[in-house]
Chains A and B, each alone.
Chain A
């Protein structure tokens, strides 16, 4: 008896937690199938009948741009961001974690401090810079910063990870005549793989969900991302289409759900070996 309780208690608890946590998602899914007049006014969980036309409307896209195109654009930006963050953040992290240079303390402190500045106030100065560079109305303002390691969170994360790696391998590589670049590329980077995967997954999800930057920098509907298109469904100054909006938000989440379910085991592995020692 006692043994059975011990065995089943965690599962029961997990199941209850699951129901509570996933209830809003179920609600979202159910609402995406509600007929227009029930979307906002009805508080029932289940629709009276399934309104699949919400999905067909959503799949048509926005402003003549198909959902496929929107998803493709988002994928392109997220892919560029992932590549940029992994590359540039690991480079910077390697210097902070392994190399000696003047002002390293000051630079590291500055890097951490950038986590603390509300990004709304640097928005306009950044916009002006990109405008001067002639890069507004392109994907560069969304991707280029990632290649310049501006996301301190990930630099910090990878630094913490590299601190936990044994130095012996790198030392012996050096004795074998490897320069710092060979060492970084052939020794440290492969060992850092779990942290890089973590960086990649978080970057992908966060870029996918980002709305603000995309809204500021993108002009033509052909270049829009799925999150931008989602907004167009609800314009408060005219009659809105809530049903298709919910349908589209389900569609927009599917790729990251798939992405996450495929890569999540690496995520936890990555974290597990990450030396998160404050």
Chain B
């Protein structure tokens, strides 16, 4: 958890920061006024303690045990971690598959979401209709029905291989091909780009038209305006989407579970990290091993998130920090 502590609590930031100078100093020491915060936080703290912290602590404990769901866990020390890192080739294959997925799906989804948002912005009439329609795939989630549709579309003789074949790319069916199946899963999540699109759209609408006018007066063309106004002004939103999509992609489960029927097939090619975790924990009843996997994943995502926050300082542009 300490891995994300650079994520400054904005509240603390504000109250300690420059704001203090023009805050009315009518009251005594602020320390006295802490109790209302705890009242506001009561539901959250209760939930965090009972429904998050305790289960997390239990899963941390389980990660050092052999636990088959039926009998009391027995302590095995670091055995799960050792077995995972040194004796389990499937573990490393699932890591590789997941990394491939993250590296392909996250940029693709974000680019598409941004492209759609820019396109929507440039549309005048009918924008609302298109916006809803573009969001429609995201309404469905990754249910079993969607999975059946997807398998039919990407199968031998399905629409996607047929269309690709017509333009000279003969792929055959994707779902039964271990080299391509993972991309069918990627495209399913990319297809549901509605949430980041909506967030990008909101970010675009926040950019003041004055900035574009000023750029146009300086003789900047459309491309130039995009590079020097849109990109920097949108960077906080890009960052937000990037972080959240990244966290979600590392935990990709439902689309792969639905498409492969939980098997991660063909031949383990869609056996993503959390799917393997699920298989170990619930199918094979090695919950201790699954818990150890979860904790390594938590640490890995934490490190990547931390890294993103570090790099963000050089490329994310915060308008409200200009004066500092």
Check whether chain A touches chain B (CB < 8 angstroms): yes
The answer to whether A27 touches B135 (Cβ under 8 A) is no
Instruction: Please report the C-alpha to C-alpha distance between residue A101 and residue B53 in the assembled complex, in whole angstroms.
Output: 20
Contacts of B278 in A (CB 8 A): 120
Q: In the complex, are the beta carbons of A113 and B3 less than 8 A apart?
A: yes
Q: Is the CB of B143 within 8 A of A155?
A: no
- Cβ distance A136 to chain B, nearest Cβ, rounded Å: 14
Instruction: Check B152–A99 contact: CB distance below 8 A.
Output: no
B271 CB within 8 Å of chain A: no
> Are A122 and B56 within 8 A (Cβ)?
yes
Is there a chain A Cβ closer than 8 Å to B136's Cβ? yes
Contacts of A209 in B (CB 8 A): 140-141, 143
Q: Which of B88-96, B209-217, B296-304 contacts A (4 or more CB under 8 A)?
A: B296-304
Q: Tell whether B314 is near chain A: CB-to-CB under 8 Å.
A: no
Q: Nearest chain A CB to B226's CB is how many angstroms away?
A: 14
Q: How far is the CB of B6 from chain A (nearest CB, A)?
A: 8
- Does B38 make an interface contact (CB < 8 A)? yes
Per a CB cutoff under 8 Å, which of B44, B55, B134, B287 touches A148? B44
- Most interface-central of B59, B131, B312 (chain A CB within 10 A): B59
Verify B290–A105 contact, CB threshold 8 A. Answer: no
Q: Are B153 and A24 in contact (CB under 8 A)?
A: yes
A231-243 interface code vs B (CB 8 A; 1 in, 0 out):
1001000000010
| Binding site secondary structure of chain A | helix
Interface presence of B108 (CB below 8 A): no
A28 at interface by CB-CB < 8 Å? yes
**Bound Cα distance A14, B119 (Å):** 7
B145-175 interface bits toward A, Cβ cutoff 8 Å, 1 = contact, 0 = none: 1101110110101110000000000000000
Stretch with Cβ within 8 A of A (4 or more), from B29-37, B79-87, B99-107: B29-37
Known: A95-B41, A100-B11, A246-B145. Is A149-B137 also a contact (CB below 8 A)? no
Closest to A264 in B: B132
Given the contacts A25-B136, A271-B198, A118 and B274 also touching, CB distance less than 8 Å: yes
Count the A-B residue pairs with Cβ separation under 8 angstroms: how many? Answer: 301
Task: Kindly list chain B residues whose C-beta atoms are within 8 Å of the C-beta of A148.
Answer: 43-44, 46-48, 50-51
Asked if B110 CB lies within 8 Å of chain A CBs, one says: no
Q: How far is the CA of A181 from the CA of B48 in the complex (A)?
A: 22
CB nearest neighbor in B for A9: B122
With an 8 A cutoff between CB atoms, is B305 at the interface? yes
Question: Is B227 interfacial (CB 8 A cutoff)?
Answer: no
Q: How far is the CB of A118 from chain B (nearest CB, A)?
A: 5
Contacts of B128 in A (CB 8 A): 264-265
Chain A residues whose CB sits within 8 angstroms of the CB of B240 once the complex forms: 160, 276-278
**A120 touching B152, Cβ below 8 Å:** no
Measured CB to CB, the closest approach of chain A to B50, in angstroms, equals: 6
In-complex Cβ contact of A25 among B45, B137, B202, B239 (8 A): B137
Q: At the interface, yes or no: A116 with Cβ under 8 Å from chain B?
A: yes
With beta carbons under 8 angstroms apart, the residue of A45, A109, A153, A171 that contacts B7 is A109
Binds B, one of A47-55, A67-75, A255-263: A255-263
Q: Return the contact of A129 from the options B24, B51, B150, B316 (Cβ within 8 A).
A: B51
A11-B123, A109-B1 known; A21 vs B145 contact (CB < 8 Å): no
* 10 residue pairs bridging A and B, Cβ less than 8 Å apart: A24-B191, A91-B42, A92-B41, A105-B5, A108-B11, A116-B302, A129-B50, A209-B143, A273-B206, A278-B239
Known: A25-B140, A92-B40. 13 other contacts (CB 8 A): A10-B122, A11-B123, A13-B119, A28-B145, A88-B44, A116-B298, A117-B298, A120-B278, A125-B59, A153-B244, A209-B140, A267-B198, A277-B318
Binding site for A on B (CB under 8 A): 1-5, 7-12, 14-15, 19, 23-24, 26, 30, 33-34, 36-48, 50-56, 58-59, 62, 69, 116, 119-120, 122-123, 126, 128, 130-141, 143-146, 148-150, 152-153, 155, 157-159, 191, 195, 198-199, 201-203, 205-206, 236-237, 239-240, 243-244, 247, 250-251, 253, 274, 277-278, 281-282, 287, 290-291, 294, 297-298, 301-302, 305, 312, 316, 318-320
Q: Which 5 A-B pairs have the closest CB atoms?
A: A148-B47, A271-B202, A209-B141, A122-B55, A125-B55
Interface residues of A (CB under 8 A from B): 10-11, 13-14, 17-18, 21-25, 27-28, 31, 40, 43, 45, 87-88, 91-92, 94-102, 104-118, 120-122, 124-126, 129, 145, 147-150, 153, 155, 159-160, 163, 167, 171, 174-175, 179-181, 184, 202, 205-206, 209, 211, 227, 230-231, 234, 242, 245-246, 249, 253, 256-257, 260-261, 264-265, 267-268, 270-274, 276-278
